[in-house]
Amino acid sequence: SRSLNLAVIPGDGIGQEVVAQGLKVLSAVLPQDVKLETKEYDLGASRWHRTGETLPDAELEALKGHDAILLGAIGDPTVPSGVLERGLLLKLRFAFDHYVNLRPSKLFPSTATPLAGRPDIDFVVVREGTEGPYTGNGGSLRTGTPAEVATEVSLNTAYGVERVVRDAYERANSRPRKKLTLVHKNNVLVYAGHMWKNIFDRVGQEYPDVATDYLHVDAATIFFVTQPDRFDVIVTDNLFGDILTDLAAAVTGGIGLAASANINPDRTFPSMFEPVHGSAPDIAGQGKADPTATILSVALLLRHLGFDAEAVRVEEAVAADLAGRDGTAATARTTDQIGDALAVRVAS
């Protein structure tokens, strides 16, 4: 019999609530012969308040033994901004070499969008996950004085850029429209921008069937709201990807539906699956959070582990559930009720 040995990091705020629904749906959809084992890791704000730890070495080591990680949300107003994000979430993404941060964006037929005209949106952002302005490289001199200087260094390597660009070409090549757009800002960030563009062009020669395009990040945000149907696959750096995928979530019905996968395609370490949304402390513990983003992240997890049919069932269940909603983002159901409904759908 097969097994799935999953690490679960509920994290902060609504993390616990949405992760519980993700696990509910995962259990319901897995084939009978797959033994699901989960181990919960107590990491996040309350752990930090209790012990001062964000991600101790022993736990980082233990996490390596799992097939995958399901994460809820990280970040809390009672903890200085950055402590948990850098010390836990980004630490995991970097330590486990999650260089493909995959974020699909699809506007489901009955889902409300802030965009007039309801454009046909169905693209996926391949966000680089281990370099760029996210490396933590930088510092502050004379902190807190009028003479303070603070730097943030964006680090980019041909090694790191080529592997994510190649992954994006592979994805574009396997999709019907076969279109790949690079987003950067190479008219200002000329060092990193030109390296990205050169590598993008060079690797593209190996994919003659993929149509390519380049957009500056500022222009890309315009097209996200005026012409989002022009996009198929987008590849971009860590920070631009962060910004663009929140915007993408907004135009496809909100952050309550946006899934993400932090993938290590080489499978040297476990990949990690999490909703794009944050910990939303303002609604935590009230049963108001939409667990759909986490459940769609579970679909990405299933696909990564080879359970393709099960992944499709989860996605179809979500599509059916969304079709039954009343077209507004708000829903009368609780977090738990949405999870229950989806668990029933995938099991039937």
Helix, strand, or coil (residue 252): coil
Q: Report the residue from 9, 19, 71, 192 that binds a copy of itself according to the rule CB under 8 A.
A: 192
188 lies in the binding site for ligand IPM (CB under 6 A): yes
Is the CB of 182 or the CB of 342 nearer to a copy of itself? 182
Site residues (CB under 8 A) for a copy of itself, limited to 228-257: 239, 242-243, 245-247, 249-251, 254-255
What distance in Å separates the CA atoms of residue 298 and residue 275, rounded to the nearest whole number? 9
Q: Is 246 a catalytic residue?
A: yes
Catalytic residue among 122, 134, 167, 237: 134
Q: Report the residue from 40, 85, 162, 340 that binds ligand IPM according to the rule CB under 6 A.
A: 85
Please tell me whether 286 is known to bind a ligand. yes
Please tell me whether 178 is known to bind a ligand. no
Catalytic residue among 76, 167, 237, 242: 242
Residues in the chain: 348
Is the CB of 26 or the CB of 249 nearer to a copy of itself? 249
CA distances from 344 to 26, 78, 185, 220, 321 (A): 11, 37, 46, 39, 11
Parallel, antiparallel, or unpaired for β 68-73 and 2-11? parallel
Binding string, 99-128, against a copy of itself, x = CB under 8 A?
--------------xxxxx-----------
What distance in Å separates the CA atoms of residue 17 and residue 148, rounded to the nearest whole number? 41
Determine how many CB atoms are found less than 10 A away from the CB of residue 30.
17
Is the CB of 26 or the CB of 92 nearer to ligand IPM? 92
Let me know: does 181 contact 234? Beta carbons within 8 Å.
Answer: yes
What distance in Å separates the CA atoms of residue 214 and residue 220, rounded to the nearest whole number? 9
What distance in Å separates the CA atoms of residue 319 and residue 85, rounded to the nearest whole number? 31
Site residues (CB under 8 A) for a copy of itself, limited to 4-43: none
Tokens standing for residue 247? 């915007």
Parallel, antiparallel, or unpaired for β 122-128 and 100-106? antiparallel
Q: Is 218 a catalytic residue?
A: yes
Please tell me whether 289 is known to bind a ligand. yes
43 lies in the binding site for ligand IPM (CB under 6 A): no
Residues that bind ligand IPM (CB under 6 A): 74-75, 85, 89-90, 187-188, 218, 242, 276, 278
Q: Which residues are catalytic?
A: 134, 185, 218, 242, 246
Specify binding-site residues for Mg(2+).
218, 242, 246
